[in-house]
């Protein structure tokens, strides 16, 4: 019985290893990534902990020294560091967000593929995939805390946004950007255009 489950999983792992070895360069912040076809196809090797979500070095550093202010004596230095966190984590909660899609085709497909693996939860625990998911989540939380700390330091020092909490002007500017993006998407959607 044990051999009948492990043999297909081992074969899958061995054939999928070259795909897992390719490093990914995230184009979106780690908190805003959508499930794509590669994620769906590699669900089994992710469950076996062969393919792992990499934790950005910035978040690893935030875990090890969340309150370090070395090299952050000026507002411009704080703003630059906060900008690095924004690039990795996405906008902070002090700015308006566009509502994300809770259910997407990629998430549904990944769920279906994952459901095909017998004893998936147990496999993920034994392989360490759940531990890796928890490590990524802890790193994200450390990054969020570090960014908030740096913004608090910037606010205390009287720095301008983005080295402090967002001002009303920054909020209004972000709302305008979101509205412009929505309008551009609507204007470029061929299904919405009326042929005449």
The pLDDT, as a whole number, for residue 26 is: 52
Residue 92 burial (C-beta neighbours within 10 Å; 0-12, 13-18, 19+): middle
Query: Which residues, 6+ apart, have CB-to-CB distance to 138 below 8 Å?
Result: 63
DSSP label of 118? T
The pLDDT, as a whole number, for residue 104 is: 62
DSSP label of 25? -
Query: Which residues, 6+ apart, have CB-to-CB distance to 144 below 8 Å?
Result: 89
The pLDDT, as a whole number, for residue 132 is: 79
The pLDDT, as a whole number, for residue 83 is: 94
For 69-116, what is each residue's pLDDT tens digit? 999 999 999 999 999 999 999 888 877 766 655 666 666 666 666 666
Query: What is the number of helices (H) and of strands (E) in the chain?
Result: 9, 0
Query: Which residues, 6+ apart, have CB-to-CB distance to 164 below 8 Å?
Result: 151, 154, 155
45 neighbors 51 (Cβ within 8 angstroms):
yes
- Give the number of other Cβ atoms within 10 Å of residue 79's Cβ: 19
Phi-psi category of 19—alpha, beta or left, where left has phi over 0 and alpha has psi -120 to 50? alpha
Secondary structure class of 96 (helix, strand, coil): coil
The pLDDT, as a whole number, for residue 189 is: 64
Exposure class string for 57-70: b at 16+ Cβ within 10 A, else e = ebbeebbeeeeeee
CA distances from 45 to 13, 65, 93, 109, 111 (A): 6, 32, 34, 15, 14
d(CA 20, CA 9): 15
Q: Per the confidence metrics, is the pTM higher than 0.75?
A: no
pLDDT in tens, the chain (196 residues): 444 444 444 444 434 434 433 344 457 787 766 666 776 677 767 666 667 778 899 999 999 999 999 999 999 999 999 999 999 998 888 777 666 556 666 666 666 666 666 677 777 677 777 777 888 899 999 999 999 999 999 999 999 999 998 888 888 888 888 788 777 777 776 655 554 4
d(CA 42, CA 37): 9
The pLDDT, as a whole number, for residue 70 is: 95
The pLDDT, as a whole number, for residue 176 is: 85
104 neighbors 35 (Cβ within 8 angstroms):
yes
């Amino acid at each position: 019985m044990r051999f009948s489950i492990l043999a297909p999983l081992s074969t899958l792992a061995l054939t999928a290893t070259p795909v897992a070895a390719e490093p990914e360069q995230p184009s979106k912040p780690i908190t805003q990534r959508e499930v794509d076809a590669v994620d769906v196809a590699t669900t089994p090797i992710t469950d076996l902990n062969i393919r792992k979500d990499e934790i950005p070095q910035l978040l690893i550093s935030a875990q090890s020294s969340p309150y370090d202010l070395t090299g952050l004596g000026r507002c411009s230095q704080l703003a630059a560091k906060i900008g690095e966190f924004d690039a990795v984590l996405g906008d902070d909660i002090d700015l308006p967000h566009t509502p994300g899609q809770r259910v997407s085709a990629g998430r549904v497909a990944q769920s279906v593929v994952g459901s095909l693996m017998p004893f998936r939860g147990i496999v993920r625990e034994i392989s360490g995939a759940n531990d890796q998911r928890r490590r990524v989540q802890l790193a994200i939380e450390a990054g969020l805390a570090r960014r908030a700390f740096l913004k608090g330091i910037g606010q205390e020092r009287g720095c301008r946004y983005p080295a402090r909490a967002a001002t009303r002007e920054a909020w209004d500017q972000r709302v305008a950007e979101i509205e412009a993006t929505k309008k551009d998407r609507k204007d470029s959607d061929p299904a919405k255009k009326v042929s005449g």
